[in-house]
Structure 1
Amino acid sequence: MPLDHQGPLGRLRQGHEELILRLLRTHGPLSRGELGRLSGLSRTTLYDIVAALADGGAVVGTTPVPAERRRGRPVETLTLHPDAGQAIGIDFARRAVHVAAVNVAHEVIGSASQAHAADLGWEDRVDLAERLVAGLAGGTLRLGALSGIGVGVVGPVDDVPPDDTPRAARPALADLPLLLRKRFGVPVLLDNNTRLAALAEATWGAAAGVQDVLYLRLSYGVGGGLVVGGALHRGAHGLSGEFGHITAEPEGRRCSCGKDGCLETVASIGAVLDAHGTAADLPAFLAALPHDPAAAQVLDTVGTRIGTVLAAVCNAIGPDVTVLGGELAAAGPALFRPVERALLEHLMPISRSRADLRAAALGEAGGALGAIALVLHESPLLARYPAPDSLE
């Protein structure tokens, strides 16, 4: 007798299927044991649901290649069908556009970047993003069942007004989702690009698979993001992660936010170059490090301020891993040593043995990959998964 999909049992089964699809979409490849642990389903129910999804083409199983196998029977992992859809991420940074593409099995298809003038308008930036996306995977990208793109931008992201709001009443950034929807024909998920880089590092990067991650980016600005329980934390008003505006020097310089002595006035690229006084740009400063005691001293001071601020945040939220990224992180041990020293000094003694400071792994693609992770984590997608023509 066929199952009534509108009855209680049918709705329960559909809920189980959606749960498995959501876990695979969010976490990427998982074994049946991991799926059972995350879903809470019994072994019998789980195997029945997975078998049905596999029969329908929504889920595929893979085994490790011989070089990756350990002793014993190889464990099969399950993923969403990689041909069923792809997600696009776009990061509109201050001076560049970065794009990336990932399929629903969490396989990175490609990424691309192009620098531009800081005052380039949004129409031109969207044109640039469209060209970069078209060049990924030979122009064969298909959104399929995902039907959405993720976008990262600089600065706070408030609620975007409706499309019919008079242009004079719309902030410049508010036009961006509308422009992108017209170009790509799909919904747009928008968030702060530094916060998205935190989600990317927790999904594919230095903290992959870690549930609670603190991320700090040291660039022309200083910001960060929190991943809590595996999900991006935005705060009540979308202002979470503004670590660059925690006071580092109470009597310090005036910050662009209006306060004095913010971490950004100490640890941004501009602040570091000003403190050094000789290097014309960051590459010149980094090149001088091995033989310039003044440059090393600047980083020692900056690293101490960073570590002190990070310790305060860590004492408040208790992350599993702290990730340090951005262009300034390329200074390596000359920066990381004083950061870690100050971090350990100011952490509660009980927390010091658990401190885990790591360098970011994704580089300039982090914001775009985080925008994709946003789609995979939060979009109400896969309602039609797999798309009827996606697996032919």
Structure 2
Amino acid sequence: MSHPRGPLAQLRRGHEELVLELLRKHGPLSRGELGKLCQLSRTTLYDILAGLVSTGAVVTATQQDAPRGRGRPAETLTLNPDAGQAIGIDFARRAVHVAAVNLAHEVVGSASAPHPADLSWEERVDLADRLVGSLTDGGLRLGALSAIGVGVVGPVGWPEPEDDPAGLGPDEPAHPVQVLLSSRFGVPVLMDNNTRLAALGEAIWGAAAGGLDVLYLRLSHGVGGGLVVGGSLHRGAYGLSGEFGHITVDPDGAPCDCGGTGCLETVASIRAVLDAYRAAGGRAGDVPELAKATRAGDETALTLLEGVGATVGGVLAAVCNAIGPSVIVVGGELAETGAALIEPIERALRAQVMPVSRHRLSLRRATLGEAAGALGGIALVLHESPLLSRYPAGPDLASGLIDETERATRPTRQERQS
């Protein structure tokens, strides 16, 4: 789904989204009913409907869908759930998660599969392709919603409009997964940080649904998160928002992959927690085994998670005092250890968040599980949530990717500035 650029194209897309949203909300409607609800002129509405019908996004309602009344019923229009699907893919460090929705925003399904950390991008895309096929019985229909939203580990950025007035985009090559997916499916690919997309998913469909100020933290193989501020997902300059895992918690601690020392990720990632547990004499090979040990009352596990929770809670309290969220959502595999981790986080928040706001703060477990990032990718594609109203649409790659000849002839950013 390429995003319209000109003002008239953007206006038309806005009208299309308005009509589609009314049909999602109210079900089958006549043209007259749509006209009353959308307040568009008859000429504009009929032109918009003609376009949506021609693309297959909207169809005439079947007899059983049509409202009953006296006389010959007016023709009613409805969303075509078979018109196409939007796909979200979360490429986590050691797993691929996918989700799909149809035009009516009904979730077709979600699926996940683990993989080795060193799996190539080609193999990861192959795995994602198989998972998508499992959701759609091999019959993926890329029509009116033909686009893919992708989450990847690490910062994802592109030039801000004021830094790129010509709209030429970044000088750096596209991410390998964008090239591979666009070539495989022949559709645009939108990409963002996967934990930020998980925050978006939880804020739309999950534990923080309806929240205007939300802090999301994911404790997984990496530690990161996202912020919803004033009802909008916060991206930050250069796409660097939500890197909570790289807040220093121990200046004399272990080196971090980011180049720093003693980051939260060196204490609260899966590897760090399991390594610390085994070093203390525990015998857990993975998080489910660690969770089982806590439920059995293993003092070593409980003591370790008490310290990890206190450290996590301290970081969250500092961020809370800076931005003032009403909801904190904690997700990721480590959250599956339950109360052993969540309760010390909550105690640290009560102790360190300013008294004036601590009683207003709600700490919640994430509810979307492994599908959160993939669902956030779908939201990024649809770009219809109010949470994205001030969020840049980002770069996309249509089926006609920029070829190397064109890339070679483009001026570099340095040349453009000279």
Q: Give the TM-score band, short-chain normalised.
A: 0.7 to 0.9
SS at match of 1:354: coil
1:310 and 2:316 correspond = yes
2:15 aligns with 17
**Stretch moving more, 328-337 or 271-280:** 271-280
CA distance in 2, matches of 1:15, 1:368: 24
Query: How many residue pairs align between the two structures?
Result: 338
SS at match of 1:97: strand
1:113 aligns with 112
User: Which of 283, 286, 289 is the aligned partner of 2:294?
Assistant: 289
SS at match of 1:138: coil
Shift of 1:18: 4.3
SS at match of 2:109: strand
Deviation digits for residues 80-115 of structure 1 (CA, Å, limit 9, x no counterpart):
653443200111111111111012332111111122
Kindly indicate whether the alpha-carbon contact (under 8 Å) linking 2:294 and 2:302 is maintained by their aligned counterparts in 1: yes
Shift of 1:295: 0.8
Shift of 1:209: 2.4
Kindly indicate whether the alpha-carbon contact (under 8 Å) linking 1:21 and 1:80 is maintained by their aligned counterparts in 2: no
Kindly indicate whether the alpha-carbon contact (under 8 Å) linking 2:190 and 2:395 is maintained by their aligned counterparts in 1: no
2:327 aligns with 321
Quick one: which amino acid aligns to residue 272 of structure 1? V
1:347 and 2:353 correspond = yes
Q: TM-score, normalised by structure 2?
A: 0.72
Change (3 A) 1:144 1:223: same
Kindly indicate whether the alpha-carbon contact (under 8 Å) linking 1:79 and 1:105 is maintained by their aligned counterparts in 2: no
1:103 aligns with 102
1:271 aligns with 272
1:202 and 2:208 correspond = no
CA distance in 2, matches of 1:244, 1:130: 30
CA distance in 2, matches of 1:246, 1:380: 29
* RMSD over aligned Cα atoms: 3.5
1:368 aligns with 374
Shift of 1:30: 4.8
Shift of 1:14: 4.9
Deviation digits for residues 1-55 of structure 1 (CA, Å, limit 9, x no counterpart):
xxxxxxxxx9999586246258x39xx95579xxxxxxxxxx9664667997789
SS at match of 1:220: coil
Kindly indicate whether the alpha-carbon contact (under 8 Å) linking 1:30 and 1:79 is maintained by their aligned counterparts in 2: no
2:89 aligns with 90
CA distance in 1, matches of 2:207, 2:217: 13
Quick one: which amino acid aligns to residue 20 of structure 1? L
Change (3 A) 1:54 1:163: closer
Instruction: List runs of 5+ in structure 1 lacking aligned partners.
Output: 1-9, 33-42, 61-77, 382-392
Change (3 A) 1:216 1:175: same
CA distance in 2, matches of 1:13, 1:238: 27
1:126 and 2:131 correspond = no
1:3 aligns with none
Quick one: which amino acid aligns to residue 299 of structure 1? L
Shift of 1:180: 0.8
CA distance in 1, matches of 2:118, 2:78: 42
Kindly indicate whether the alpha-carbon contact (under 8 Å) linking 1:89 and 1:368 is maintained by their aligned counterparts in 2: yes
CA distance in 2, matches of 1:197, 1:336: 19
Shift of 1:267: 0.9
Deviation digits for residues 185-221 of structure 1 (CA, Å, limit 9, x no counterpart):
0010011111111111111111122232211000111
SS at match of 2:118: coil
SS at match of 1:145: coil
Counterparts in 2 of 1:162-177, with a 5 A limit? 174-177=175-178
Kindly indicate whether the alpha-carbon contact (under 8 Å) linking 1:163 and 1:178 is maintained by their aligned counterparts in 2: no
Deviation digits for residues 162-202 of structure 1 (CA, Å, limit 9, x no counterpart):
9998xxx85xx722211111100001001111111111111
Quick one: which amino acid aligns to residue 206 of structure 1? A
2:336 aligns with 330
Instruction: List runs of 5+ in structure 2 lacking aligned partners.
Output: 1-7, 28-34, 60-76, 160-167, 384-392, 397-418
CA distance in 1, matches of 2:379, 2:170: 29
Quick one: which amino acid aligns to residue 292 of structure 2? A
Change (3 A) 1:164 1:18: closer
Change (3 A) 1:106 1:210: farther
CA distance in 2, matches of 1:320, 1:80: 36
Quick one: which amino acid aligns to residue 322 of structure 1? I
CA distance in 2, matches of 1:120, 1:227: 32
SS at match of 2:241: coil
Q: TM-score, normalised by structure 1?
A: 0.76
Counterparts in 2 of 1:183-222, with a 5 A limit? 183-222=184-223
Shift of 1:243: 0.1
SS at match of 2:283: coil
1:280 aligns with 284
Change (3 A) 1:366 1:45: closer
SS at match of 2:237: coil
Quick one: which amino acid aligns to residue 360 of structure 1? A
Change (3 A) 1:275 1:303: same
2:154 aligns with 155
Shift of 1:273: 1.7
Change (3 A) 1:344 1:180: same
SS at match of 2:381: helix
1:178 aligns with 179
CA distance in 2, matches of 1:99, 1:149: 10
SS at match of 2:239: coil
